[in-house]
Structure 1
Amino acid sequence: MKSTYLFVIAIGLVAGLFSCSNPSAKSGNYKTTLTFNPGEEQKIAEAFLSLKDSTEIVLTKGNYQFDNLSIAQVKHILIRGEGFDKTILDFKTQSSGGEGIRVTDVKGFSIDGMTIKDSKGDLLKINKSRDVVVTNLHAVWSQADSTSGGYAIYPVMCQNVLIENCYTEGSSDAGIYVGQTDSAIVRKCKAAKNVAGCEIENTSNAEVYDNEFYNNTAGFLIFDLPDLSKKGGHVKVYNNYIHDNNFRNFAKAGSFGTSWGVGNASPGSGIIILAASDIEIYNNRIINNNTSSITIASGFAVDDKAAEKINANYSPISKNVSIHDNQIEMGAAFPEPAYEHRIGKILIAVEQQLNASDPNRKNKRIPQIMYDGISSNILTKGTAVNPDNICIKQTGDNLFVNADFLNISNPKNWKPNTDMSPFICK
């Protein structure tokens, strides 16, 4: 009860900080205003490198061509365009740098009202900064394939982040990614044609609401991964429309395609919870994600050495997961790209095994919520049926499957089952 109370207080403080009247994103609240026009790209790049505290940079309408832009170690900065359809920053000729725009160690950074597109690496990376506001930004690649950069909007190791009214497309990892951050809000955003629409990774005290994630490989991910600087948790996901995420997985080879990358996300995934704790998923519309509406998985599902990586910042078991009052619907068949995907093939096999073992199912679809069945019993040698407090309160038919991943490699012992009774919220 005490931890829940503290979480409510923390989220309340974040929501207050990022109210609609947040002054850090307002024009005219800065000591210096610098205004630039298309054709002054060299001056703009130099201005970014030499910024003083409390500066607003205004980029008037038009198309700009940049190699890369960088801001570091300043306070109270606003980069403002005249609208996503008017101020366009194009990085397609980028020859150096890992990002289109890189922001490092800035206290009070805001960017508003423009489109950034077609960098070779990430489009906007904000590193080790605090009080970050990203609003009315479109971050897109013209082609959604493995030539795209990994992340479109990418705050990492930050504190107090708001991402609002943004659109991302074409990321070969996640369109909106919040990593290793404390206190974050993602709201009123859209993401399409990314591998993952939005990902909250090793991030604590986050709210994701009033968004639309569609036509991605996977709509929304909550991951905790090993070997990172902090543990995530206390994430609330509500009032989102997560639909038709059946796009092929085009994650890059190497870092994106390793056992811990989004290359593991099967086409047709609505929400994936992986090794994450203290998660609440409610009042969402999760429609036509035709491989798995909601997946609850452990680190063991993708890494057989997960136990060796346990430390203060990482546990491979998903715990304290509450799923309730969502509207969930699935289509009649798996999407074609799932049949070519490693995890997709496993989920297809789960459906086939369930229907083969129970003639009463009559060729039903895979149930809406897929739990890999790997609990903390694997670490404690315990026998409790729900030791990790998985709590589900949903109505309807064909809701749940414990996929029994521990035995999937031994067909004689593999017994996925649809008994949800141990996991019904008490």
Structure 2
Amino acid sequence: MKYLLPLLCFCLLAACQQAPKDGYLTVLRFGPGDEQKIAEAFLTLRDSSRIELQAGTYKFDNLSLMRLRHIHLSGAGADKTILDFSEQRQGGEGIRVAEVKNFLITGLTLRESKGDLLKVNKSDSVIIRNVHAIWQHSDSTSGGYGIYPVLCTNVLVEDCYAQGASDAGIYVGQSDGAVVRRCKAFRNVAGCEIENTTNAEVYDNEFYGNTAGFLVFDLPDLSRRGGKVKAYNNHIHDNNERNFAKAGSFGTTWGVGNAAPGCGVIIQATSDVELYNNRIQNNNSTAIALVSGFFVDPKAGEKINAQYFPVSRNVRIHDNTLEMGPAFPEPVFHHHTGKVLVAIEQALGKRIPLIVYDGINTNVLTQGTAPNPDSLCIQQKGDNLFININALKLGQKDWQPGMDVTPFTCAR
């Protein structure tokens, strides 16, 4: 009996060490006023750690996590735990995560950083859940991206909200394997953007009140080519606001500064995209724009390499609800791309159609004559559905748009 008590104590201690709570070896809990301790914890954190932030408002300069595994940053709920970066003096992001495997962030609001609010870079198995990223004032002083996983693999963004970004509220870039679902994006330049990313699904989201609702882009001079993107069951509506992208990095030839106010969906220079079962409504410049890299840069052909091809191929658009208001939104008249759309409508003498295609295909590169060399497939019903704007001849005397969608209608 005299050995029983020590043995029991030893077993209990071993059990505490070997059975971590929620699968994490270390659990750290903090409340408002612990900002210095939290910043120090971020710098000294070890693998398999969970940081719990209680309800309240926390003020930070910035926070950084690097080269770790199995990390969970959690709050009490997006409406309860608020990380405020409005007094930020240094650093490009509010929270920066780099080279972390198995990263989970849940139940927080991030607001008012000078740069991006949440940037996750070169990480694997990333879950961003119930995170709100907010700038209250939607203008060029806002950071570029609200929720920003880039160069990642296996990304899930769900039940999130983004507001006020001067580029994209929710952005997934140069990544492989991404899901964006049940999210909302409001009053950003782009609500959601999938850029140079492969194997992505975007569904059950609402993108509204932005300059443009949803963008699928490939841009040149990046590390990988995108493609294999599905977007379905989304409500993309009332995206008619002015474009307030920053000058410089966000407003360049290739940047989101080209997005005309009033665009629901823009597909540019990417391949293997399927857009279906979405409600795309009251985006009053165009419901869907399908354009090539040549539309924004006549020298796009010089940038062709293994990571970039300027013409979209294998794009299927079907079974969407497409509706557009009777007139352009006012901000489109002050935007360079928007003015092109206005001029096309004026030349037509009637409302611009719901789907705008620039008409620039691979025949430009091959000198071919096929009517649909890039396997574009449009299966939509309705009047005033489609226009091929024949962009290479815009402004010339022999310019003639095409209104016949038949060459692009294909069987499932």
Provide TM-score, normalisation by structure 1: 0.91
Per the TM alignment, residue 409 of structure 1 is displaced from its structure 2 partner at its CA by 3.1
Gaps of 5+ in 2: 1-19
Q: Work out which of the residue numbers 238, 243, 264 in structure 2 matches 1:244.
A: 238
Match of 1:336 in 2: 330
Aligned to 2:93: 99
Question: Any idea what SS the aligned residue of 1:43 has?
Answer: helix
Can you list the C-alpha shifts for 1:186-232, whole angstroms capped at 9, x where unaligned?
Answer: 00000000000000000000000000000000000000000000000
In structure 1, distance between residues paired with 2:117 and 2:31: 21
In 2, the alpha carbon distance for the partners of 1:195 and 1:318 equals: 23
Once residues 39 and 147 of structure 1 are traced to their aligned partners in structure 2, the CA distance between those partners, rounded to angstroms, is 28
State the partner residue of 2:174: 180
What is the DSSP-based 3-state SS (H/G/I as helix, E as strand, rest coil) of the residue aligned with 1:149? coil
**Where does residue 148 of structure 1 map in the other structure?**
142
For residue 78 of structure 1, give the secondary structure of its aligned residue in structure 2: strand
* Amino acid corresponding to residue 36 of structure 1 in structure 2: F
Counterpart among 347, 356, 360 of residue 374 in structure 1: 360
Distance 1:337 1:274 in 2: 22
| Mapped pair 1:325 → 2:311 | no
What is residue 217 of structure 2 aligned with on the other side?
Answer: 223
Deviations 1:71-127 (A, max 9, x none): 000000000000011100000000000000000000000100010000000000000
Superposed CA deviations along residues 231-268 of structure 1, whole A, max 9, x for unmatched, are 00000000000000001100000011101000000000
Of residues 156, 161, 164, the one that matches 1:170 is: 164
Secondary structure, counterpart of 1:28 in structure 2: helix
Q: Is the 8 A contact 1:27 1:56 kept in 2?
A: no
Q: Residue 108 of structure 1 contacts residue 130 of structure 1 at CA under 8 Å; is this kept in 2?
A: yes
Corresponding residue for residue 4 of structure 1: none
Shift of 1:351: 1.3
> Does residue 401 of structure 2 align to residue 416 of structure 1?
yes
Q: Is 1:402 equivalent to 2:402 in the alignment?
A: no
The CA distance in 2 between the partners of 1:229 and 1:49, in whole Å, is 29
What are the equivalent positions in structure 2 for 1:280-319 lying under 5 Å apart?
A: 280-319=274-313
* Aligned counterparts of 2:149 and 2:87: Cα–Cα separation in 1: 24
2:78 aligned with 1:84, yes or no? yes
Q: Provide, for residues 279-324 of structure 1, a one-character-per-residue CA deviation record: whole Å limited to 9, x for no partner.
A: 0000000000000100000000001110110000100001100000
RMSD in angstroms over aligned alpha carbons? 0.9
Q: Please state whether the residue corresponding to 1:388 is helix, strand or coil.
A: coil
Q: What does residue 130 of structure 1 align with? A: 124
Whole-angstrom CA distance in 1 between matches of 2:107 and 2:237: 26
Any idea what SS the aligned residue of 2:249 has?
A: helix
The separation in 1 between residues aligned to 2:400 and 2:42, in whole angstroms, is: 59
Instruction: Give me the whole-angstrom Cα distance separating, in 1, the residues matched to 2:40 and 2:287.
Output: 47
Please, which moves more after superposition, 26-35 or 143-152?
A: 26-35
Question: What amino acid does structure 1 have at the position aligned with 2:147?
Answer: I
TM-score normalised per structure 2:
0.94
Tell me, yes or no, if the aligned pair for 1:84 and 1:114 is still in contact at 8 Å.
Answer: yes
Distance 1:216 1:141 in 2: 13
SS at match of 1:131: strand
Work out the CA distance in 2 between the residues paired with 1:153 and 1:264.
Answer: 21
Is 1:351–2:345 an aligned residue pair?
Answer: yes
Q: Is the 8 A contact 1:354 1:417 kept in 2?
A: no
The 5 Å alignment of 1:29-108 reads 29-108=23-102
2-structure distance, mates of 1:226, 1:112 = 33
SS in 2 for 1:334: coil
Alpha-carbon deviation of 1:27? 7.3
The aligned amino acid for 1:301 is F
Identity, in percent, stands at: 65
Are positions 1:388 and 2:374 aligned together?
yes
SS in 2 for 1:415: coil
1:151-172 deviations in Å (ceiling 9; x for gaps): 0000000000000000000000
Counterpart CA distance in 1 for 2:398 and 2:335 is 24
Deviation at residue 29 of structure 1 after TM alignment: 2.1
- Partner Cα separation in structure 2 for residue 283 and residue 277 of structure 1: 19
> Would the aligned equivalents of 1:353 and 1:416 in 2 still touch at CA under 8 Å?
no
| Unaligned 5+ runs, structure 1 | 1-25, 356-362
Residue in 2 that maps onto 1:159 = 153
Radius of gyration: which is bigger? 2
